[in-house]
């Protein structure tokens, strides 16, 4: 480090120069009061500049809005056969359907991402090719639809509850026992 004539220090050992300037003000309270409007104006300007730069950054980072997906009016579900469930066939995929903007009918369907099984892919394509959309809501002619074939757990057996007449008889029995107990205490 070496000292320069203006009191700043610089370091040139690696080819980079650092310039540090230290300024110390000594002011009385009266001087601060007289500079108050200037300081407030500077602070307000700094806030306005900061907010405008943040808002412009936010506006630039926002992606263009995508049109809302079309409203489906007929949506048959893909068939998941019992034998496929027994075999443990599962998979996730994405179907790309092509929609006629005039009628809302699906004119084509293909697998963008396969489920990993041709049978499951075929069931998905067959079902999605039958879908129908409200033509007034179709903005784009193609739509990606995710599909998942999962083995569902067996439904739980229904809870066994007592029929209502039995419950009423139990309540009546408890009430009679309570009345009998109270009569014995009084006697």
- Count how many domains the chain has: 2
| Statement to judge: residues 83 and 114 lie in one domain | yes
Residue 128 CB coordination number (10 Å): 23
Whether residue 101 is contained in a domain is answered as: yes
| Statement to judge: residues 52 and 79 lie in one domain | no
pLDDT at 90 over 70: yes
Domain boundary residue, one of 34, 61, 88: 61
Whether residue 106 is contained in a domain is answered as: yes
CA atoms within 13 A on the CB side of 168: 3
Whether residue 158 is contained in a domain is answered as: no
| Statement to judge: residues 81 and 32 lie in one domain | no
pLDDT at 186 over 60: yes
Helix and strand counts by DSSP (H, E) for the chain: 4, 7
Whether residue 165 is contained in a domain is answered as: no
| Statement to judge: residues 78 and 12 lie in one domain | no
CATH number at residue 140: 3.30.1150.10
| Residue 136: predicted pLDDT | 92
| Statement to judge: residues 27 and 49 lie in one domain | yes
The Cα 18–Cα 9 span in angstroms is 7
Write down the pTM of the prediction.
0.49
Average pLDDT over every residue of 129-138: 93
For residue 42, the enclosing domain spans: 2-61
């Amino acid at each position: 480090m070496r000292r320069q004539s203006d009191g700043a220090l610089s370091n040139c050992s690696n080819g980079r120069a650092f310039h540090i300037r230290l300024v110390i003000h000594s002011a009385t309270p009266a001087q601060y009061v007289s500079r108050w409007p200037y300081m407030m104006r500077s602070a307000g300007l700094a806030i306005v500049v900061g907010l405008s730069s943040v808002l412009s950054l936010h506006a630039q980072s926002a992606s263009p809005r995508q049109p809302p997906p079309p409203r489906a009016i007929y949506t048959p579900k893909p068939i998941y056969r019992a034998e496929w469930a027994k075999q443990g066939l599962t998979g996730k995929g994405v179907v790309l359907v092509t929609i006629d903007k005039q009628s809302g009918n699906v004119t084509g369907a293909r697998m963008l991402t396969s489920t990993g099984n041709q049978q499951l892919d075929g069931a998905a394509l067959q079902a999605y090719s039958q879908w129908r959309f409200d033509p007034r809501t179709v903005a784009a002619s193609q739509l990606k639809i995710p599909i998942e074939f999962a083995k569902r757990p067996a439904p739980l057996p229904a809870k066994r509850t007592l029929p209502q007449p039995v419950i009423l008889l139990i309540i009546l029995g408890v009430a009679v026992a309570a009345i009998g107990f109270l009569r014995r205490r009084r006697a």
